[in-house]
Amino acid sequence: MAELRIAYIVSAYKLPGQLDRLLHRLSGPGVAFAVHVDRRTSRGTYEEMVARTRDLDVTFLSRHVSHWASFGHVRATLKGLDHFVGEGKPFDYAVLLTGQDYPLRSPAAIGEFLGSAGRRSFMSYRYLPFPPWGKRGGLERIENWHVTKYRRLHLALPLRRRLPLGLRPWGGSAYWCLERDVVQYVHEFVRAHPEYVAFFEHVYVPDELFFQTIVLNSSLRNSVENEDLRYLDWTRRPAPAVLDQRDLPALLSSTKLFARKFDERVDAAVLDQLDAHIDASPDPS
């Protein structure tokens, strides 16, 4: 089997040491990174992130402000896609992460898993309305006109908007692993339909809807597994929980490829122990 090429798109805003650790843990032959750092992050922190990762195949994307629940995270992802697809970079899968994610497998094992996936993509999805998402099943995220400036300053105007292009609404986890054909389709769709992008600039938490709605309305939908390959704990507050050594049994027994979220200031030892476990595990031959 040919060596799998993975393009990681990473959104970060703090913890330069942890970002450095994540990228170096994932690095290997055929691996490249595009990193977006929130423009609100201090210049010193940003420069430390760049300096720590100079030895890797990493591109730091042009920066913009990315408030929680706003279009900023989608915009950062689109910049990453434009870097890899628009500039003709070679890759087989694109994987979307944050700077507080961490792998549960070695780079070789991640490559082996995706390389044997039969070119299938991995993205959690559900058709809206989805009752657990609220009174209107999440449709209010799309139908109302949302403006988010800060995490605590959010306005929703009940204008009852409709998705453009007659698309059906889909949602799910903001993070995914997509095969190149799907990534290429998303990139071309976005370039061909600026009205779709403009519409989502006023959707609430659009990163949980933007890519699912494109992909699940396409002819490639049957190539997508309803699985995001992430381990998270939603049972502790605030959710998702910051994972620590208490979570090691669940992390080590998980079949997922990645977990989030971690914070080295809270518990760096859990990352040390994950590293030790990964290093002790035999890589696929």
Tell me whether residue 50 is in a domain: yes
Tell me whether residue 145 is in a domain: no
Counted domains in the chain: 1
Tell me whether residue 137 is in a domain: no
Pairwise CA distance, residues 25 & 17, whole Å? 12
Pairwise CA distance, residues 101 & 12, whole Å? 10
Tell me whether residue 142 is in a domain: no
Tell me whether residue 272 is in a domain: yes
- CATH code, domain carrying 33: 3.90.550
Say how many C-beta atoms besides its own lie within 10 A of residue 6's C-beta.
22
Distance of CA 180 to the CA centre of its chain: 15
Pairwise CA distance, residues 92 & 30, whole Å? 9
Structure tokens at 7: 């393009």
3-state secondary structure 142-190: HHCEEEEEECCEEEEECCCCCCHHHCCCEECCCCCEEEHHHHHHHHHHH
Pairwise CA distance, residues 283 & 285, whole Å? 6
Tell me whether residue 144 is in a domain: no
Tell me whether residue 218 is in a domain: no
Backbone φ and ψ for 266, nearest 5 degrees, come out as -90, -45
> What are 45-99's pLDDT values in tens digits?
999 999 999 999 999 999 999 988 899 999 999 999 999 999 999 999 999 999 9
261/160: higher pLDDT: 261
Which range of residues forms the domain containing residue 251?
Answer: 6-126+170-188+223-280
Section 10-22 average pLDDT: 97
Pairwise CA distance, residues 18 & 79, whole Å? 22
The least confident of 58-67, 102-111, 128-137, 145-154 is 145-154
Tell me whether residue 16 is in a domain: yes
> What are 190-214's pLDDT values in tens digits?
999 999 999 999 999 999 999 999 9
Residue 73 pLDDT: 96
- The residues near 59 (Cβ < 8 Å, ≥ 6 apart) are 32, 33, 34, 35, 83
